[in-house]
Amino acid sequence: MFSLEVPPDGSALLRGPSRAECPDGCKVFGGYFKSFSVPPHKQYPVEGPASLVVDGGSVAFVRGSPIPDDWKLSLEGVVAIVGPTDSGKSGLSTYLLNVHVDRGKVCVVDADVGQSDIGPPGFVSCACTSEQVPHISELRPLDGYYVGSVNLQGVEELLLAGVVRCLKRVAAPLVLINTPGWTTGRGAQLLRALVDAVEARAINIGERILPGLLASRPSYIYPRGPQERKELRNLAYRRHISLKGEVTAPIDALSPCRWEGGLICPWGRYMPGDVEKPEGRGREYVVPRSYLRHILAGLFKGGKLAGYGVVERISEEGVSLYATTEDFDEVRIGRIRVHPEKLEELEPLP
């Protein structure tokens, strides 16, 4: 534990995992907080002047404010935050929420399914608040739509469906969409389709990907490698999923796949076999029998997200799974697989 004094003309970049106490308040992403926590592999800016006590983590001092001047916008309606990976999308989303929430409720649709902040990876999640937050990852999801993969290639239409569904669930003077970091090729095409479908105003970070406003990329970004991104996904699974016990659902609750001695899904066919690793190509695979276990599921009731589950067995008799709730009528699955006890991602379905 150590004390920090941040001068008026400087800022502190606090990296997690850490906990900060600010007796007189700290300005973080445009909001003021007496205390806040920084998760592992995240970095929060504290603008001076500030006095704080920090437990854990590390800190770097920089001159001036880490918040670009052109982030100071007055917005309303539906706004899509667009930028590549590690460009500051979640930081800008948090900042815009904090500076607009005094006008009324602000909602966020988190569509960055590979590095989800509001819900588990693989889900488009939405949340609303009337209070400032140190980071949008502290928002609790109101609803979600299961895309079923952290890699959007081949499931682009599911991301669009998730964003449209979430926008129907929320209402506020300002709704922010935190978009995926896939900004080249088909990814750019997906972003254009998303913005057009929901008639959103685009704010591009660092480079102009779509027609709309251009905001600066922060000078101090915490770059993360593949292993750190995997650890962040695992932390998100543990934060949002608390499995209570094993339940069995009828086989017709399974969606969008069906069971015919193997798993038949819109994106592929997976038949169990005595193989060490998946064999096949295109949409036809023979997979180790273990690959048809530990499949992450979104549990829905009446079309609304009710909880989460991890599938243990699928057969003609039904779907056995570890679940966060018993009150659901649909078990929606995708490619993601996670260990039900450790809540760590496993090799996904091909």
Q: Compute the C-alpha angle 28/32/34, nearest 5°.
A: 105
Residue 281 confidence class, pLDDT cut points 50, 70, 90: confident
What pLDDT sits at residue 320?
97
- In this predicted model, what pLDDT tens digit does every residue of 214-230 receive, in sequence order? 999 998 888 889 999 99
Mean confidence (pLDDT) of the chain: 96
Mean pLDDT over 57-74 rounds to 95
Query: For residue 255, what are the contacts with CB-CB under 8 A and spacing of at least 6?
Result: 330, 331, 332, 333
What pLDDT sits at residue 193?
97
- In this predicted model, what pLDDT tens digit does every residue of 257-268 receive, in sequence order? 999 999 999 999
pLDDT higher than threshold 90 for residue 335? yes
The pLDDT > 70 percentage for the chain reads 100
Distance (Å, whole) CA 83 – CA 339: 32
- In this predicted model, what pLDDT tens digit does every residue of 119-129 receive, in sequence order? 999 999 999 99
With 0-12 CB in 10 A as exposed, 13-18 as middle and 19+ as buried, what is 184?
exposed
- What is the residue-wise DSSP string for 284-329? EEEEEGGGGSSEEEEEEETTEEEEEEEEEEEETTEEEEEES-S--S
Q: How many CB atoms lie within 10 A of CB 263?
A: 23
What pLDDT sits at residue 221?
86
The pLDDT > 90 percentage for the chain reads 95
pLDDT higher than threshold 90 for residue 20? yes
Mean pLDDT over 150-169 rounds to 95
What pLDDT sits at residue 222?
85
- In this predicted model, what pLDDT tens digit does every residue of 285-309 receive, in sequence order? 999 999 999 999 999 999 999 999 9
- Answer yes or no: are the C-beta atoms of 247 and 329 closer than 8 Å: no
